[in-house]
């Protein structure tokens, strides 16, 4: 999930960032300190949600929202406003401007998670975006080592892999380069050297010395080259076509 945070107060922006990492699976988060910079971002990149402060020095949040509504890329992007004043009068004003989702500080991590879920239903979105193709392999390169793993699922935003773990693999818990090899049924398509940022890991089994035996690791992609984006899109298109054919024949 790709989220843009716009707030001139760094501590609030950082808090929202941390809350999103706690509540969402593999989010990609961009922070900017002004609505002016936010406008530059939404003209260049599609976001799944935008969280913006109400009171900003250059342009307030509601005014930014009106600009967002005419953005070719983000005119339908869910928008959440961080409000300074939650009086009935102010809330009516925001509703009249089309702003449906807002939060008034102080709020908790679950409060933010519930609001994001209400605004754009990220659980349903993740289900649609992720695909799982048996036999897909990942080759993870880090600190002059390479580890082979199984791809549990992959999206245009990130990847979940299952590997046999060794104590020599502590470097896996950092950024890495991941290459993906799809099976023969997908023309053995290779997507090479995806630049990834580590998000989290889960131990699936343990050795007798209480160290992990198998791990699942999640990375998000920090950027996709056009050729890799095209190859992944082709695999996704084939997967969806096969799924549709299976549903129609059942």
For 152-165, how does the pLDDT look when each residue is reduced to its tens digit (9 = 90+)? 989 888 898 999 98
Sorted by sequence, the CB contacts under 8 Å of residue 14 that are 6+ apart come out as 31
What is the tens place of the pLDDT at every residue in 169-219?
777 777 789 999 999 999 999 999 999 888 888 888 888 888 888 888 888
155 shares its domain with 179: yes
Report the pLDDT value the prediction gives residue 165, as an integer from 0 to 100. Answer: 84
111 shares its domain with 166: no
How many CB atoms are located within 10 Å of the residue 140 CB? 23
Sorted by sequence, the CB contacts under 8 Å of residue 26 that are 6+ apart come out as 1, 155, 157, 158, 160, 199, 218, 219, 220
107 shares its domain with 175: no
Report the pLDDT averaged over residues 71-95.
86
Q: pLDDT band for 166, please (50, 70, 90 cuts).
A: confident
Residue 132 lies in a domain: no
CATH code of 42's domain = 3.40.50.2300
For residues 220 and 33, the model is more confident at 33
Domain boundary among 69, 101, 127: 127
Q: pLDDT band for 124, please (50, 70, 90 cuts).
A: very low
Q: Report the percent of the chain where pLDDT is more than 70.
A: 95
12 shares its domain with 103: yes
Report the pLDDT averaged over residues 125-130.
54
Judge contact between 42 and 4, C-beta under 8 A: yes
Report the pLDDT value the prediction gives residue 65, as an integer from 0 to 100. Answer: 94
Overall domain count for the chain: 2
18 shares its domain with 114: yes
pLDDT at 240 over 90: no
176 shares its domain with 95: no
78 shares its domain with 189: no
Q: How far is the C-alpha of 46 from the C-alpha of 68, rounded, in Å?
A: 11
Distance of CA 105 to the CA centre of its chain: 24
Q: pLDDT band for 52, please (50, 70, 90 cuts).
A: very high
Report the pLDDT value the prediction gives residue 127, as an integer from 0 to 100. Answer: 44
100 shares its domain with 155: no
Report the pLDDT value the prediction gives residue 136, as an integer from 0 to 100. Answer: 96
Residue with tokens 């967002």: 68
Report the pLDDT value the prediction gives residue 110, as an integer from 0 to 100. Answer: 84
What is the tens place of the pLDDT at every residue in 25-43?
667 889 999 999 999 999 9
pTM across the whole model: 0.53
Query: What's the mean per-residue pLDDT of the chain?
Result: 86
Report the pLDDT value the prediction gives residue 249, as an integer from 0 to 100. Answer: 67
Angle, CA of 116, 160 and 191, to the nearest 5°: 110
Q: Comparing C-alpha atoms, which of 87, 82, 78 is closest to residue 112?
A: 82
- Which residues constitute the domain of residue 228? 137-249
């Amino acid at each position: 999930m790709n989220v843009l945070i716009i707030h001139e107060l760094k501590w609030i922006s950082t808090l929202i960032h941390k809350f999103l990492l706690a509540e969402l699976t593999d989010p990609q988060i961009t922070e900017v300190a002004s609505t002016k910079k936010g406008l530059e971002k939404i003209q260049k990149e599609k976001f799944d949600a935008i969280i913006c402060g109400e009171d900003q020095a250059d342009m307030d949040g509601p005014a930014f929202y009106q600009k967002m509504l005419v953005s070719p890329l983000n005119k339908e992007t869910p928008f959440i406003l961080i409000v300074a004043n939650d009086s009935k009068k102010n809330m009516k004003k925001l509703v009249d401007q089309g702003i449906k989702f807002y939060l008034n500080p102080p709020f908790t991590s679950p409060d933010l998670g519930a609001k994001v879920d209400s605004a754009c239903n990220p659980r349903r979105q993740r289900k649609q975006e992720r695909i799982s193709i048996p036999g897909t392999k990942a080759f993870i390169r880090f600190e002059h080592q390479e580890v082979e793993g199984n791809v549990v699922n992959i999206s245009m935003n990130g990847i979940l892999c299952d590997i046999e773990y060794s104590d020599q693999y502590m470097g896996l818990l950092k950024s890495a380069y991941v290459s993906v090899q799809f099976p023969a049924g997908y023309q053995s398509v290779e997507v090479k050297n995806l630049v990834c940022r580590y998000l989290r890991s889960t131990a699936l089994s343990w050795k007798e010395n209480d160290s992990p035996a198998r791990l699942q690791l999640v990375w998000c992609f920090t950027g996709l080259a056009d050729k890799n984006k095209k190859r992944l899109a082709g695999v996704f298109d084939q997967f969806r076509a096969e799924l549709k054919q299976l549903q129609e024949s059942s």
